[in-house]
Structure 1
Amino acid sequence: MKRLYLDWNATTPLRPEAKAAMGQAMDLWGNPSSVHAEGRAAKALIERARGQIAAALGAEGADIIFTSGATEAAALALAGRGILCGAVEHDAVAAWCAASLPVDGWGRVFVTEPARATLQLANSETGAIQSLPEGLWAADLTQAFGKIPFAFNWLGVTCGFISAHKLGGPKGIGALVVRRGTEIAALLKGGGQEMGRRAGTENLIGIAGFGAAAEAAARDLAAGIWEEVAQVRNILKDALEIPTKEVYFPGRETPLECEALEDGPLAVLPNTLSVIAPGWKGETQVMRMDLAGFAISAGSACSSGKVRASRVLAAMGWGEDEAGSAMRVSLGPGVTGDEVLRFADVWRAAFQKHRARQ
């Protein structure tokens, strides 16, 4: 049976528009820093992509600094600043944080000094969407860009991190979006490219693909494509929840030992579902589903060959066994209700076999 890809938060298929733009960029061999006609043609392509991304992101007037990805963008914005963050942030962000901000059972991060903090707009594991405080220094927009409507210029943040391969663009290209006039010291120094903030000859092919993908993603969002994805995600949630009553949905419910929290759960990304099946290791679920023809990811990560429970779920108050027994299913356009029901049938059968062996 045809494999089903359900790991869109990890990376997305390359959009046809991005592939076409990258093919055209291959015919431009000039260095964008050169002043001759070939160089100017390459530079014009970069500026066109910069405009496409700014329009899609609602960042007109902001500086868009191309990087190798959101990881480098985060480093460029956070290095040496003593920035605070919560333990639910991506590793690429948490690596630069001086301290951790408190997190509640819904995944909500509490910020008291916005000018010294960074916060994700949407969490990659649970899909929880944060409310960003005015004056926030930096925001990780990687998972939210292209999936939910927002405008960088309306967020009230100074910097934002984005990545092409999360919205149908190529891997190896991202950007730091900065309010114009903000001082950002270059980590890579040399030729003075990207307004003196990121030296090195620009990745022309990747940038072209990023611009085309961002433009296409904005069209899909405006057309309501992700509302349809949310409907399919809800079909999956119902299929996993009703028959078993033995699973938990972090971000949609809190750990049992947590007290009732005010304001209730955060909104979640339209495509993301995190599921805890206590006692069934997340990596085992990933391997079992992979053999059955489904690509998903776990709420746990491997580091140096050692499996560790998800620190995101642990920060939200889930126990070690629960945090290590999670899977993440993330959908994209084109995934159907019948397909996720097929996944649910296979997953439930495997779960029941696992429980029977205990």
Structure 2
Amino acid sequence: MNSRLIYLDYAATTPLDPRVLEAMMPFLTGMSGNASSIHQVGRAALQALDDAREQVALVLGCQPKEIVFTGGGSESINLAIKGVAMALRAQGKTHLISSTIEHHAVLHALDYLVEYEGFTVTLLPVDRTGRVQPADLSTAIRPETALVSVMYANNETGVIQPITELAAICRERGVLFHTDAVQAPGQLPLDVHALGVDLLSLTAHKFYGPQGVGVLYLRRGTPLVPQINGGAQERRRRAGTENIAGIVGLAKALSIAESERTAHANRLRALSERLIDGVLTRIPQSWLNGDRQTRLPGIVNVGFACIETESLLLLLDQRGICASSGSACTSGSLEPSHVLLAMGLSPDEANGSIRFSLGRQTTDEQIDTLLDLLPDLVAQLRTLTPCA
């Protein structure tokens, strides 16, 4: 990465950790076998796969056989939601519950099940701070509810959801619970038994691992219909030759993220508080989106009256600062953030909001540079598009 570039979009993707690359190199430069082959090269690949599965299981506090390797977060999420829904449909379980602030991988998987498979969906609202209320979930569950899917922490605002409370409600009512935990590694605990979840989705590139590889935790005994058909890989839950180099990298990255979690989260929290205080004190008519306390330490979503985020992002980019307006998966959209609208912001407020996400290479000096530039850029834009 350019040393002069200030990268503040870690929630979109993170740079590959050199320690992770080192672990991957033997499988990228040498003979990487097919883990389904019975010869010695295949057995070496299988051993690497088994070792990686054990590493991931150790972090999640589960059994290795409960780990399913996938092609990324979106695939893990689709496998969880569609796989459980289709497995339980024969039992008359045709109702699904999620929230209005989910990533589009969740929302579009639900849309598919409604449009093509005849399911019904209830989307739980959030309050102004961006949190789902457990009482709303209790009310929404029906006898025919198959699955509830609520994200661990929001990718746009960083707001952390009451996952343990939500999962406990589902457990009491006999309903399976899935969480999209893509943003959590390195910042939040991941023990699946402490969380009480039945399914949990991750993707390596959010915690300094390679792109294109993910994980689904699937609690033993959870019914699932595979979404990719073919060979018997991943205990027949996800067909396709395993990406050994990517899986090895994912396991290494997740182990590092967990071992450094407390120190990393504390450092990010100090940096983000510095950024929030600086924005709110230096820029009039600015605000923080989402709860200030119950959020990921690495995500800061702030809004500015009387500006358009796209223009601000372009000005920042010209000065070597990378940020975003929200989810990287909707970066080309001109529509206001569905997350911010669900929290009660107006379209103008949502369109005036920007996400800064911090990471391992973020420094105090970079935050100070941003804070030195930002007030003038906002003021410049306000002269071009003054408030009505």
Structure 2 counterpart of 1:123, one-letter code: N
Which residue of 314, 317, 329 maps to 2:356? 329
Distance in 2 separating the partners of 1:31 and 1:116: 35
Does the CA-based 8 Å contact 1:297-1:329 persist in structure 2?
yes
Distance in 2 separating the partners of 1:350 and 1:85: 38
What residue is the counterpart of 2:90 in the other structure?
Answer: none
What residue is the counterpart of 2:91 in the other structure?
Answer: none
Does the CA-based 8 Å contact 1:283-1:300 persist in structure 2?
no
In the alignment, structure 1 residue 123 sits paired with structure 2 residue 154: yes
Which residue of 142, 150, 157 maps to 2:182? 142
Does the CA-based 8 Å contact 2:132-2:162 persist in structure 1?
no
In the alignment, structure 1 residue 38 sits paired with structure 2 residue 41: yes
Does the CA-based 8 Å contact 2:309-2:354 persist in structure 1?
yes
What residue is the counterpart of 2:81 in the other structure?
Answer: 78
What residue is the counterpart of 1:15 in the other structure?
Answer: 17
Deviations 1:25-63 (CA, angstroms, capped at 9, x unpaired):
222421100111111100110111111112223334561
In the alignment, structure 1 residue 282 sits paired with structure 2 residue 295: no
TM-fit CA distance, 1:78:
0.7
Flag the structure with higher helix content. 2
TM-fit CA distance, 1:310:
0.3
Task: Name the Cα RMSD after superposition.
Answer: 1.9
In the alignment, structure 1 residue 57 sits paired with structure 2 residue 60: yes
Change (3 A) 1:156 1:301: closer
What residue is the counterpart of 1:214 in the other structure?
Answer: 254
Distance in 2 separating the partners of 1:75 and 1:125: 20
Deviations 1:313-352 (CA, angstroms, capped at 9, x unpaired):
0001000101111100000123111210111111111001
Change (3 A) 1:305 1:208: closer
Displacement over 4 Å in runs of 4+: 300-306
What residue is the counterpart of 2:335 in the other structure?
Answer: 308
TM-score (normalised: structure 1) = 0.91
In the alignment, structure 1 residue 109 sits paired with structure 2 residue 122: no
What residue is the counterpart of 1:165 in the other structure?
Answer: 205
Deviations 1:6-27 (CA, angstroms, capped at 9, x unpaired):
0000000101121011111222
Percent identical pairs in the alignment equals: 35
Does the CA-based 8 Å contact 1:282-1:300 persist in structure 2?
no
TM-score (normalised: structure 2) = 0.85
Change (3 A) 1:57 1:234: same
* Unmatched 5+ stretches in structure 2: 86-94, 111-120
Which residue of 48, 53, 62 maps to 2:51? 48
Distance in 1 separating the partners of 2:372 and 2:215: 40
- Counterpart secondary structure, 1:198: coil
Which residue of 191, 203, 208 maps to 2:243? 203
* Unmatched 5+ stretches in structure 1: 253-264
Deviations 1:210-260 (CA, angstroms, capped at 9, x unpaired):
0111111112114x12201110111111111112231111103xxxxxxxx
What residue is the counterpart of 2:88 in the other structure?
Answer: none
Structure 2 counterpart of 1:85, one-letter code: S
